[in-house]
Amino acid sequence: MVLPLPRPVFDANASAGGLGKLPDWDLSDLYAAPDAPEFARDMGWLEKACADFAARYEGKLAGLDAAALLACVRDYEAIDITAGRIMSYAGLRYYQNTMDSERAKFMADAQDRVTAFTTPLVFFSLEFNRLDDAHLEGLLAANADLARYKPVFDRMRAMRPHQLSDELEKFLHDQSTVGAAAWNRLFDETMAGLTFTVAGEAEELNLESTLNLLTDADRTKREAAARALAAEFDKHIKLFARVHNTLAKEKEIHDRWRKMPTPQHGRHLSNHVEPEVVQALRDAVVAAYPKLSHRYYRLKAKWLGLERLQVWDRNAPLNLEPPKTVDWDSARRTVSEAYAAFSPRMAELAEPFFTKGWIDAGVKPGKAPGAFAHPTVTTVHPYVMLNYLGKPRDVMTLAHELGHGVHQILAAGQGELLSSTPLTLAETASVFGEMLTFRRLLEGAKTPAERKTLLAGKVEDMINTVVRQIAFYDFECKLHAARAEGELTPDDINALWMSVQAESLGDAFDFMDGYETFWAYIPHFVHSPFYVYAYAFGDGLVNALYAVYESGLPGFEEKYFEMLKAGGSKHHKDLLAPFGLDASDPKFWDKGLSMIAGFIDELEGMEG
């Protein structure tokens, strides 16, 4: 019941002026202010509702008939909504300025109180999982409204082999704020407070602005940024190693007590995806490294006139055209038109984000890096965070996060417990929104150079989404396996990082001294272990889905909206069946990877 806070997504955004007025969040749809009477009212209601829920239902679930169990589930859902609203508000305020001690205290205090209030609810899932299968099936058969929640019950009951005693589960829930959550906050605040001394820059830069320089047209600036990142990460590498060691060890202890067969298993359960499906994805991507990243980066070295690429060349622009800054209104128009070309309804769903204060776009001191779409709760609406500074790639980030937002709005109709989409499908609408925007830009390309620039940019984004994220997944697998054997030194972690970098990026690269520390700033490893494969899953799935769209499948648009509206109410097999797709087929992933290979084929063809 401790609601996850929105987490920054790894995405280095750009820095430029002349962007027009960038929107800020209006969080008043959650609460008007930290001291708003509604906030205090909801806190008071939550405390009483949790205590009443435990008094009413603890030890009694087995004796409830279908109607009473439905009332119990709905009471739980109402509590979930109020707790989610409180923590969404506290978390979003905090991410606007993580260096503001008042906001940090407000969020920490809210988290402490919500955790304390919801501890009495821990019994619910434990006791529910002890219900006899035949008894539960009878209740579901007797009440269609209760049967709607079956996907939620299935996910809960998948944890049955791994749950501990009621007392231990309550202890772990109560203790969570000083466990992983505290280490997460230490990581966030350390990252937000880092400044980088970049040669040639007049003042020190934050992480976002320094990462942005890795995409600068000037190779000297890119190298200076890479070396500044390495120097600063090295100063703090013992702290980052401590964070990773502690979190990996805590996870190993929890997994051992819960009898999880692998460190990844809990993530697969929460994603409602079979381990063999993830393994098939991972194996397909690794097997494709030579025809994807290795081949592309050899081409890129040739375009840049270099014998060898350095790490600061990985995201270098091609310089086929003058660098372009995209102002905010142009970015909004580009994405809105791309969405509308697919379906006017899609553009209509995205419109309130621009007009009602649902986007926070500018880079500001202390603001969390990256981008995310946070759904808040189904009775309010999502909020999108960007660090928009005018690069063409930032337009794609806007398309991506708005896709999440549209998905979250559509899924909200399922209600709080059924709306949340497993991570494996959570990237579907976002990547599809990116693809729609990219295809529209590609159709409008006026010169071969513009087309080549667009294609190369898309291939790089796909490599970053598929190849890089699977390499990250392999790094995490190695990290957790190694930590199970003992404490890891910074050098140990560095070596694991470099082992996956060389394999995934290929033979076109040399790696500068210091690059071995670049694992340190990636937030997913800290906040959401093994999250990263969801990006590759989503990209592969969308590539296959887009191929079906292009083939002219009758009723595609309506089928697509139905899939998004389903939220977490269906398994990926059921959601993909109307499109003739099946992610459990090992050959499924080759379809998506073939699209990336096809773009690289076209780029190779342009060489002649």
Instruction: Give the lowest-confidence range in 2-11, 27-36, 333-342, 494-503.
Output: 2-11
Average model confidence (pLDDT) across the chain: 92
Q: Which residues of 211-243 are buried (b: 16+ CB within 10 A; e: fewer)?
A: bbbbbbeeeebbbbbbbbbbebbbebbeebbeb
- Distance CA(372)–CA(369), nearest Å, equals 10
Residue 448 burial by Cβ neighbours in a 10 Å radius (0-12, 13-18, 19+):
exposed
pLDDT of residue 192: 87
Q: Is the dihedral of CA 513, 515, 520, 521 positive or negative?
A: positive
Q: Which residues of 109-145 are buried (b: 16+ CB within 10 A; e: fewer)?
A: ebbebbbebbbbbbbbbbbbbebeeeebeebbeebee
Residue 65's domain comprises 30-178
- Distance CA(58)–CA(61), nearest Å, equals 7
pLDDT of residue 12: 33
Whether residue 169 lies inside any domain: the answer is yes
Q: Going along 403-525, which residue ranges are E strands? A: none
The band of 592, judged by pLDDT with boundaries at 50, 70 and 90, is confident
Whether residue 96 lies inside any domain: the answer is yes
> Model confidence over 119-141: pLDDT tens digits?
999 899 999 999 999 999 999 99
> Model confidence over 400-425: pLDDT tens digits?
999 999 999 999 999 999 998 877 78
- Judge whether 97 and 366 are in contact, CB under 8 Å: yes
pLDDT of residue 315: 93
Task: Pick from 346-355, 456-465, 540-549 the range whose average pLDDT is largest.
Answer: 346-355
**What is the pLDDT averaged over residues 276-293?**
95
Percent of residues, the chain, with pLDDT higher than 70: 96
Q: Is the pLDDT of residue 495 over 90?
A: yes
Whether residue 104 lies inside any domain: the answer is yes
- Distance CA(417)–CA(408), nearest Å, equals 13
Structure tokens at 14: 């750009």
> Model confidence over 50-84: pLDDT tens digits?
999 999 999 999 999 999 999 999 999 999 999 99
**Residue type present at position 353:** F
Q: Is the pLDDT of residue 17 over 80?
A: no
pLDDT of residue 336: 97
Whether residue 14 lies inside any domain: the answer is no
Whether residue 157 lies inside any domain: the answer is yes
Q: Coil, helix or strand for 333?
A: helix
> What pTM value is reported for the model?
0.82
Cα–Cα distances in angstroms (integers) from residue 602 to residues 247, 296, 320, in the given order? 44, 11, 16
> Model confidence over 390-399: pLDDT tens digits?
988 899 999 9
Percent of residues, the chain, with pLDDT higher than 90: 76
Structure tokens at 486: 């003992």
Cα–Cα distances in angstroms (integers) from residue 412 to residues 70, 157, 377, 403, 570, in the given order? 19, 23, 8, 14, 14
> Model confidence over 197-250: pLDDT tens digits?
999 999 999 998 899 899 998 999 999 999 999 999 999 999 999 999 999 999
Looking at residue 112, which CATH number applies to its domain? 1.20.140.70
Q: Coil, helix or strand for 13?
A: coil
Look at the chain and report how many structural domains it folds into: 1
**What is the pLDDT averaged over residues 476-501?**
97
Whether residue 332 lies inside any domain: the answer is no
The band of 145, judged by pLDDT with boundaries at 50, 70 and 90, is very high
Whether residue 42 lies inside any domain: the answer is yes
**Residue type present at position 587:** K
Instruction: Give the lowest-confidence range in 65-74, 165-174, 273-282, 290-299.
Output: 165-174
Q: Which residues of 297-310 are buried (b: 16+ CB within 10 A; e: fewer)?
A: bebbbeeeeeeebb
- Distance CA(23)–CA(328), nearest Å, equals 9
How open is the CA angle 355-360-361, to the nearest 5 degrees? 100
Whether residue 567 lies inside any domain: the answer is no
Pairing of strands 383-385, 372-374: antiparallel
